[in-house]
Structure 1
């Protein structure tokens, strides 16, 4: 699928730059003026710190039908209006969440030569990476990452998973397994909220056996000039659903609000952040929204987050679900596949919402 064998320039690990105590960041990380973050100053209240809704999934299992309906309604509203919400009582053990974060923090603090044994290439992206997109001379983001496939099992390759720190692979396995369970559960809820049979979205992904699950662990080192760069440029997620385990100590994720202002997400303790990806926006015929987000970096603290992506099988046609297409609401998108869609972001890197806009059906 991918024509690129290697990166266009030698890879520089952002963590190594950060640890070399440089005072100014290299030019290739400096964003154009219009894209630089307007960092909230700590002296006055930031009006855009209204956080995204926190939804208690545990209420779906109560006997109280009113509470159940209210919770479903909150999820529906979040998917339609904001594209983002936090979930608590999601069924994942807090200890496992802590262990997963700690294990990856240890990984990123291993000696560089051990990490570089897992260096990735644009061919699969699996492994230890420091850039997205293969454009020569592109302005890069201030982050390193580790990317791996978990599901379907035909794509799972343990040799691509780090053997260190100890027990890393077992913790990863447990973590990803829980993530798939949560995603399958959310897919049912999202289907029901569209007024459809609960397996419709899952089937559109190619079914449970064929849907894709992968993990991207983001590492954002300290940055001496956070006002000039970003940890991750603005983008909407190209896949289906994303579940983010954030680093609670330091906020960094920002979501584009309805007034175009960037809202800083304040993570609730042991909450997971859920967001809609482009594939679900297309399948729902834009009833659900995938929303642009970005990551700011800190001068004083490193940050780490685990993003689990739940995606359609690569070659299944993705287009608005026929149940949602009517004379009054015609299909907004032409058919594509996730493979074709992903090829775009892997070539160009994160580019706001430009790709899904290109797929809009001509009126």
Structure 2
């Protein structure tokens, strides 16, 4: 794959991820949904070299994405992605050629004041083969801005659930506490 192809793909997916975020905000009743413009994205190509010894083990441990929104182009031939449902059971997300997967992260849950759900997921090794995926993460506001539920999401029936925080501070909190599956959000909850 040439650098030019990767850059064009990354730009197209960036435009898509911002559009999805904008439509998500509009679906929640926000008229001004340009807040995502300028939020940084991270683009990553993941390669898993699964060996016969790794079959049945985790390629990626259970986690939530720290940012707002993720678009994943998953391997069309090799499965392994699993999401955790409300009961705590894992559900396989089987490959579907020609599609992209979208999930929400911790920033989406905090920003929406709990209206949106962050997705716990992992990758399991099902067979000895190479597995490739391409992930684009819409992270959160830049350094001088904070993750905070808009006033439209806070009222007497829906009190503010999380204190305002910077994305970078939250990312560091997740790393330092090793709380990778959404548990770090409890550390930025509004005191009762």
Same fold, TM exceeding 0.5?
yes
Q: How far apart in 1 are the matches of 2:111 and 2:129? A: 39
Q: How far apart in 2 are the matches of 1:314 and 1:235? A: 23
Let me know the Cα RMSD of the aligned residues: 1.7
**Would you say the 8 A contact 1:215–1:308 is kept in 2?**
yes
Unaligned stretches of 5+ residues in structure 1? 1-102, 104-166
Aligned match for 1:320, one of 126, 131, 149: 149
| Runs of 4+ with >6 A deviation | none
Aligned match for 2:95, one of 249, 267, 273: 267
CA spacing shift, 1:312–1:352, aligned 2, 3 Å: closer
**Would you say the 8 A contact 1:212–1:312 is kept in 2?**
yes
Aligned match for 1:186, one of 17, 20, 40: 20
Could you report, residue by residue, the CA deviation over 1:179-206 in whole angstroms, capped at 9, with x for unpaired residues? 111012111210111011151xx41x4x
Specify the alignment match of 2:171 in structure 1. 342
Unaligned stretches of 5+ residues in structure 2? none
Specify the alignment match of 2:7 in structure 1. 173
**Would you say the 8 A contact 2:45–2:133 is kept in 1?**
yes
Specify the alignment match of 1:241 in structure 2. 69
In the TM superposition, what is the alpha-carbon distance from 1:227 to its structure 2 partner? 5.5
TM alignment of 1:1-363, pairs within 5 A = 103=1, 167=2, 169-199=3-33, 202-203=34-35, 205=36, 208=37, 210-226=38-54, 229-315=57-143, 316-347=145-176, 351-363=180-192
Normalising by structure 2, we get a TM-score of: 0.92
Query: Rg bigger for which structure?
Result: 1
Residues paired across the two proteins, number: 191
Larger fraction in strand: 2
